[in-house]
């Protein structure tokens, strides 16, 4: 299989400092404000969401292709929710919302394949048994 690489650097204190996250084709700055206060810039949770949405879409495409279907589009949005408990901030949930256009696919079969995708895509598996609750819904579109 493959190995992917990413890099993050942080300079300064937690509130006044700033950082940069980098991986192939992306570089984004982040700060305390962008992560926890809605300020300008990226945050690591957005990247988690993007990774999960991308992984989910590709895995669902794999399952559809294995069934002899040819999806025309699979659009997955991710909502990553942070919470704080007595141990500190953590990802509490990731909600995936997927829209699928695929000739020959029924809504019932999509529901089954979407549930299997939620269990089997590598990013979902990363969170299996952890503290983040992962939900996924898929909807057939024209």
Task: Give the model's confidence band at 79: pLDDT under 50 very low, under 70 low, under 90 confident, else very high.
Answer: very high
Contact of 79 with 67, CB cutoff 8 Å? no
Tens digit of pLDDT for each residue in 12-24? 999 999 999 999 9
Higher pLDDT pick, 131 / 85 = 85
- Dist CA 94 CA 124 (whole Å): 9
Q: Looking at residues 73-100, what average pLDDT do you find?
A: 94
Q: What homologous superfamily does CATH list for 44-140?
A: K homology (KH) domain (3.30.300.20)
CA 100 from chain centre, in angstroms, equals: 17
Per DSSP, what are the bridge partners of residue 8? 21
Sketch the domain layout of the chain as residue ranges: 7-36, 44-140
| Dihedral angle over CA of 104, 107, 112, 115, nearest 10 | 120
What confidence score (pLDDT) does residue 106 get? Answer: 97
Q: Looking at residues 58-77, what average pLDDT do you find?
A: 97
pTM for this model (two decimals): 0.89
On the question of pLDDT at 137 being above 80, the answer is yes
**Tokens describing residue 85:** 């408990």
Q: Which of 128, 114, 136, 125 is nearest to 63 (CA)?
A: 114
Q: Looking at residues 50-73, what average pLDDT do you find?
A: 97
Q: Looking at residues 97-113, what average pLDDT do you find?
A: 97
């Amino acid at each position: 299989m493959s190995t992917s690489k990413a890099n993050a650097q942080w300079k300064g204190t937690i509130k006044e400092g700033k950082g940069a996250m980098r991986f192939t084709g992306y570089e984004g700055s982040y700060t305390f404000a962008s992560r926890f206060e809605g300020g300008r810039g990226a945050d690591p949770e957005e990247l988690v969401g993007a990774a999960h949405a991308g992984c989910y879409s590709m895995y669902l495409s794999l399952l559809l292709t294995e069934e002899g279907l040819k999806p025309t589009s699979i659009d997955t949005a991710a909502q990553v929710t942070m919470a704080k408990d007595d141990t500190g901030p953590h990802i509490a949930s990731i909600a995936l919302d997927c829209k699928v256009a695929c000739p020959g696919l029924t809504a019932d079969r999509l529901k089954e394949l979407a549930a299997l995708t939620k269990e089997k895509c590598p990013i979902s598996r990363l969170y299996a048994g952890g503290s983040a609750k992962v939900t996924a819904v898929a909807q057939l579109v024209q």
